[in-house]
């Protein structure tokens, strides 16, 4: 087995989360120039990697170029289809013996099992490493990472995870799908919390209770995580300004919770809260698409507001987007 000093790291996939994580990897490499060569990266749109290039990372023209020159390869893509396609490309890019594949993508556990098996047949080590936290947490290097796969491979790459991408690494076991099952369960919990807190804020607003008062209770009685979710609602982040990216996209929320609901159905279990989230999330997706906007996974709040006749967009959102000012200008014009 090669020593840590011999690791040659590559990164495939530079979405919001992928770019944030890859940036932290390259910053770590910069701090240890004798231990690692610069990070190599590939993305379908290579220009996404410009911030990495400015930090000293090297772009690869093709996936094959990256695979042939790296022995530790991180993956961060959007969904099962993208991962299956990419895995096939990697496996056709040359010998994979002794290489370590670290996959941060959230997919169905059965997809993880299939891909893990296919890499094992190529004598490569596949680690399922889903991450917990939205883009701002990834930028700060404070994600939680769950890892499952060959123990020796996990030991080999842990220095690239703990204190670099993540505040903590959870070891789930040898079977890659177990990490993904944990991630799927976590997504269900988060979706349920989003739904519950959305209802709580709707109740408060409908009853005349200030949202700041409710949020103080949430902070003191339910902790930092619940507070973070609540602030995505009260700050207006559930519906970002036009042209702005969400902290965690609604499409990903629908996909991730959908995996949990599908797994439950396969086992004859009913997840009513998950189904409630999906129903509201589909409504939020329709609202955003009609207006050419991107919504956060917490946009179920807008749908629950609509059902309570409060309007999808909160006063904070309307004020931020200038809707109220436009309305006042129109009223003034009509009075003249």
Active site residues: 183
- Distance, in Å, from the CA atom of 1 to the CA atom of 207, rounded to the nearest integer, reads 64
Quote the tokens at residue 271: 């997840």
Candidates 193, 192, 174, 172; CA nearest to 182 is: 172
Tokens 């990164």 label which residue?
Answer: 11
Beta-bridged to residue 102, according to DSSP, are 74, 127
In this structure, what is the dihedral angle of CA atoms 25, 30, 36, 37, given to the nearest 10 degrees? 100
- Distance, in Å, from the CA atom of 247 to the CA atom of 35, rounded to the nearest integer, reads 33
Quote the tokens at residue 58: 């090297």
Polymer length in residues for the chain: 336
Quote the tokens at residue 313: 């967009």
Judged on CB neighbours under 10 Å (0-12, 13-18, 19+), 24 is buried
């Amino acid at each position: 087995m090669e020593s840590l000093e011999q690791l040659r790291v590559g990164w495939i996939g530079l979405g919001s989360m992928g770019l944030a994580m890859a940036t932290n990897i390259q910053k770590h490499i910069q701090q240890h120039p004798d231990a690692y060569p610069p990070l190599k990266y590939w993305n379908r749109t290579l220009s996404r990697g410009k911030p990495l290039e400015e930090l000293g990372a090297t772009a690869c023209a093709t996936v094959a170029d990256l695979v042939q020159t790296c022995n530790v390869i991180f993956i961060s893509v959007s969904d099962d289809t993208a991962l299956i396609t990419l895995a096939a490309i990697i496996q056709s890019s040359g010998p994979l013996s002794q290489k370590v594949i670290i996959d941060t993508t959230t997919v169905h556990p059965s997809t993880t099992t299939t891909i893990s098996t296919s890499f094992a047949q190529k004598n490569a080590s596949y680690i399922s490493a889903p991450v917990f936290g939205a883009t701002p947490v990834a930028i700060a290097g404070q994600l939680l990472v769950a890892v499952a796969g060959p123990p020796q491979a996990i030991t080999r790459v842990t220095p690239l995870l703990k204190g670099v991408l993540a505040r903590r690494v959870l070891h789930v076991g040898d079977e890659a799908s177990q990490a993904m099952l944990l991630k799927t369960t976590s997504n269900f919990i988060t979706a349920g919390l989003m739904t519950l807190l959305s209802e709580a804020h709707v109740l408060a607003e409908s009853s005349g209770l200030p949202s700041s008062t409710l949020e103080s209770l949430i902070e003191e009685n339910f902790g930092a995580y619940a507070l973070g979710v609540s602030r995505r609602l009260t700050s207006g982040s559930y519906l970002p300004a036009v042209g702005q990216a969400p902290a965690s996209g609604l499409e990903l929320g629908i996909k991730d919770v959908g995996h949990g609901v599908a797994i439950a159905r396969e086992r004859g279990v009913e997840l009513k809260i998950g189904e409630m989230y999906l129903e509201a999330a589909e409504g939020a997706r329709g609202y955003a698409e009609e207006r050419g906007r991107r919504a956060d996974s917490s946009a179920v709040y807008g749908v629950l507001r609509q059902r309570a006749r409060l309007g999808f967009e909160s006063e904070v959102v309307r004020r931020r987007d200038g809707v109220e000012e436009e309305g006042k200008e129109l009223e003034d014009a009509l009075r003249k």
